[in-house]
Amino acid sequence: MKNIILYILLHLSAILFCQKEKFDFVAAYSLTYPINKVKNDEQFLLFMNSKKNMSYFIGTNNYVLDSLKRTGKVKNDDVMGQLKYNSAFNEEVINQSGNLIVLENIIGKKYTYNEVPNIRWTILNDRKPYNDTTIRKAECFAFGRKWTAWYAEDLTLNFFPYKFTGLPGLVYILYDDNQNYYFKLTQFKRKNREVLIPDSKKISKVTKAKLNTIRYNTNVYGTVQVVSFETAKERKEWIDKAKEIYNNSPRLDLE
């Protein structure tokens, strides 16, 4: 009986912490990135409301898993079932005219912070044909790296993957200076749909610095709480290894 009550409460909280939002465009992006110098890739969704100048960015795995948990097809305590939808990037971004609400899931709990990135793009004269349009080159320094973007001048939807803002057209390609992180638009369509997005007012609000600390401590010291060590040296070696893994883990924002 207790398990049934707990499931109902978790199911309701997943719904209550969300709100419905209408979008009229949707784009899909692929992202290639390194883990231990090996290339990986993930898919992301960007929902856009052109009338409100608003967008919602989320990893496809996280979007699917949230939907399955809300409908009860994957239980909250089904660790193995959730691992199939594992993501290296648990950030979600709601962009309202350049004012960002950033959300991140850390070990089952969501946190949020606000950010207004001051990204200064240098728009270059370089243009090239791409699929059925022409894209133009721009460069900036943001989130600890230099980035290059190619955007469509004739598609004046100023929406972007992740936390990027400030260009006068939809971004088709975005990559850092070493091309370790490479976004590529794979699908774009006009499509009216209603999407459940997080209601940030009902989620724990912290500063960006505090969230970085929570993430670091969870990844580095979290497992220490459930592992037994014979000696202090063994514990230190474990923590040092956890720090190394964390410092080498993929991150889009280094700040």
pLDDT digits (tens, 9 = 90+) for 193-242: 899 998 888 898 999 999 999 999 998 888 766 677 888 888 888 888 98
| pLDDT tens by residue, 134-159 | 999 999 999 999 999 999 998 888 89
Give the burial class of 131: count Cβ atoms within 10 A of its Cβ; 0-12 exposed, 13-18 middle, 19 or more buried: exposed
The rounded distance, in Å, linking the Cα atoms of 185 and 170 is 9
The confidence score (pLDDT) of residue 177 equals 95
Mean pLDDT on 51-73: 88
Q: Return the higher-pLDDT residue of 72 and 47.
A: 47
The confidence score (pLDDT) of residue 13 equals 41
Instruction: Please report the domains of the chain, with CATH numbers, ordered by start residue.
Output: 2-201 (2.50.20), 205-247 (no CATH)
Weakest mean pLDDT among 44-48, 49-53, 203-207, 223-227: 223-227
In our burial notation (b when 16+ CB lie closer than 10 A, e otherwise), range 105-124 reads beeeebbbbebebebebeee
pLDDT score of 1 more than 70: no
The amino acid that residue 176 corresponds to is D
Mean pLDDT on 62-66: 86
Average pLDDT, the chain: 87
